[in-house]
Structure 1
Amino acid sequence: MILRPAQVEASWYGRVRLGSVETALLLVLSWGYAGVIWLRRRLYQWGILKTVRLPVPVLVVGNLIVGGAGKTPVARALAQQLKALGWRPGIISRGYGRQVPGVRAVGVGDSPQHVGDEPLLYAQDGFPVFVGEKRAEAGRALLAANPSVNILIADDGLQHLALARDLEVVVFDQRGIGNGRLLPAGPLREPLSRLNASLVRGLIIQGNPDQTGWPALPRLGMTLQPQHIYALNQPERQLPLESLAGKSVLALAGIGHPERFFSMLRDAGLRVEAISFPDHHDFKPQDIPFSHLPVLMTEKDAVKCQNFAQGHDNWFVVPVKARFSPALPLAKWLKGIDKRHR
């Protein structure tokens, strides 16, 4: 009996039905995982494992399920909204997928192999960004290098209990919570009861998952709206995505849920030939087939294709902007937090 990861993942969302023996095995492993989660959280509560509180408020953006659910556009939107409210945000991240460990600042021209792909997007937005396996150390380094920063966004920090936080925002997508089980029997990193924590201010949900049993928390819908696409090797060359409506394109995506990107393009009227890669895929020139068609990719994937884009005038990046309905009540969520840090 050999279970393939893709087969197990498909079972979480009802696309594949596993046999009773396979299901029982996954459930046993899931119970063991639940015990580890319980013990780890208790060790922090008892003070055996230490939590570090930084001198500025910390806003955590994370998700409960494995794989991407749209955290990056949420974190980018939160940073912009904080700036509009008069805050001076910085962003800390693990820098998933990077090949150089330790704490370091992220610059626009850095290699994704050194800092990760998502942190580069935050840096391109003009915010101070540091990466580090230990988020508290990354936060300290960022604040030391940028004394004007007065609030931090911790990207994908929901399960990083070593860092104290002031509020949490949890992101879901069309897949919802799947079968509602913990890994590896289901997609959940933590039990659904985790959402009852007092610091969770709201759920941001992309799409309309067919789900019941959500906790009584504010639920905000999120849509990702495509902006003008631009040539990867010549960013000033832009055109509306709608100009490709009715035309065939080659689309590639190495994100947590590639179909979300492909569906967005189809909704815009494009005829999509799709190629999926694993999340955080380290792209190489041979990964992208030669084609006379326009080749469309996400911003997250584009930062890893930048170095070999010369001569490929038909490679285009599709930036997106997160829109929320209702609007994020960020000012309300932050009320009183600043006073606790003075």
Structure 2
Amino acid sequence: MSTFAQRITRIWYDGEPVPWWLRLLVPAYRGLRRLHLAPYALGLRRPARIAAPVIVVGNLTAGGSGKTPLAIALAENLRLHGFRPGVVSRGYGGTETGPLLLDDVPDPRRVGDEPCVIRRRAGVEVAVGRDRARAAALLLERGVNVVIADDGLQHVALARDIEICVVDGQRRFGNGLLLPAGPLREPLARLDTIPFRVCNGGAAQAGEIPMRLVGDVAVPVQRAAATRPLDAFAGRRVHAVAAIGNPERFFLALRTHGIEVVPHAFADHHAFAPADLAFGDGLPVLMTEKDAVKCVPFAEAHHWCVPVRAELPASFFDAVIERLRAAKAR
């Protein structure tokens, strides 16, 4: 992670004073946001409505908060209840502008890392594209009857039936300021309009649904060896690699298993190269699943992936399905 990114993190989340020049940029961000929303507010444009209910999973802050694991858990649960879910994504970090339907072996350099993880883990149809309504149309052609939009809370061009906001339970909303002085994409008042607020880790506050990310196995990135319990690395020194919104969350999770962590934090969606993992000592390298999909071409035998699954109360899924069925009945 660059020195500038580290400083921004300290300003947003660790109480470091906000420089005057960052504060001066907040009105510019607010103005651009209002300009983007103006055609919809004035009725000049309308959000695109597709022929299936849409569930948007997003957050109010820049960076990751656990949206993708929740999207996977939703897709798996909906399928158990007889739905045919699919996922639409911008494909951030990839070169594809779309719309494009992912195949069974998608290239993360083209379609982004998170869509690849969703396709592999949930086994559902996934489409990427800047125009998410057109990408969602590809899903409907494949028989999808519920669309999950991964990271689309601020993408007003696509109409939605259910909104879910994921909150990082450790970082919360940082200093509570709008970009770039703080991490907020929208004012906190936006929370009042969102029916489901999911708290990832930490202590869930009033009105929030608790979510826990569980990672208890290590999978070889090459998939040429057997999966191991994560506890098999307890007491050992390892290199921990994370290019996610909150790398410290991954490092802390490994430490709770008694693993001695040498942390290596990269910028979110970092495009890995072999040199990034060349630590020269032969120690095991543990990384997130999102990072592993980008390292497959040059992974070595001591490179391991730690997938996580999202655990939430059954009542949350029941409430989502109830709203979903009501939306389909309209």
Structure-1-length-normalised TM-score:
0.89
* Residue 89 (str. 1) matches residue 85 (str. 2): yes
Deviation at 1:106, TM superposition (A): 1.0
* Residue 170 (str. 1) matches residue 160 (str. 2): no
State the identity as a percent.
43
CA–CA distance in 1 between the matches of 2:97 and 2:66? 25
The structure that is helix-richer by fraction is: 2
Task: Decide whether the 8 Å contact of 1:55 with 1:341 is kept in 2.
Answer: no
Q: Aligned Cα RMSD in Å? A: 1.9
Tell me the amino acid that sits aligned with residue 159 of structure 1: Q
* Residue 224 (str. 1) matches residue 213 (str. 2): yes
Task: Decide whether the 8 Å contact of 1:229 with 1:240 is kept in 2.
Answer: yes
The DSSP-based 3-state class of the residue aligned with 2:240 is strand
The DSSP-based 3-state class of the residue aligned with 2:46 is coil
Tell me the amino acid that sits aligned with residue 9 of structure 1: T
Task: Decide whether the 8 Å contact of 2:209 with 2:316 is kept in 1.
Answer: no
1:3-53 superposed Cα distances (whole Å, 9 cap, x missing partner)? 9443233111134234xxx23x32232123223323433421322233100
Tell me the amino acid that sits aligned with residue 303 of structure 2: W
CA–CA distance in 2 between the matches of 1:101 and 1:37? 22
Deviation at 1:100, TM superposition (A): 2.7
Deviation at 1:232, TM superposition (A): 1.3
2:257 to 268, 277, 286: 268
What is the match of residue 136 of structure 2? 139
Tell me the amino acid that sits aligned with residue 136 of structure 2: G
Task: Decide whether the 8 Å contact of 2:213 with 2:308 is kept in 1.
Answer: yes
Which shifted more, 45-54 or 134-143? 45-54
CA–CA distance in 2 between the matches of 1:234 and 1:334? 35
What is the match of residue 333 of structure 1? 320
* Residue 247 (str. 1) matches residue 236 (str. 2): yes
1:101-137 superposed Cα distances (whole Å, 9 cap, x missing partner)? 2211112312111111111111112100000011101
CA–CA distance in 1 between the matches of 2:264 and 2:315? 34
Q: Which runs of 5+ in 1 are unaligned?
A: none
What is the match of residue 323 of structure 1? 311
Task: Decide whether the 8 Å contact of 2:48 with 2:158 is kept in 1.
Answer: yes
**Corresponding pairs, count:** 324
What is the match of residue 314 of structure 1? 302
Q: Which runs of 5+ in 2 are unaligned?
A: none
1:153 to 143, 148, 171: 148
2:198 to 200, 204, 215: 204
CA–CA distance in 2 between the matches of 1:274 and 1:5? 16
Tell me the amino acid that sits aligned with residue 242 of structure 1: D
The DSSP-based 3-state class of the residue aligned with 1:237 is coil
Task: Decide whether the 8 Å contact of 2:162 with 2:323 is kept in 1.
Answer: no
Deviation at 1:339, TM superposition (A): 4.6
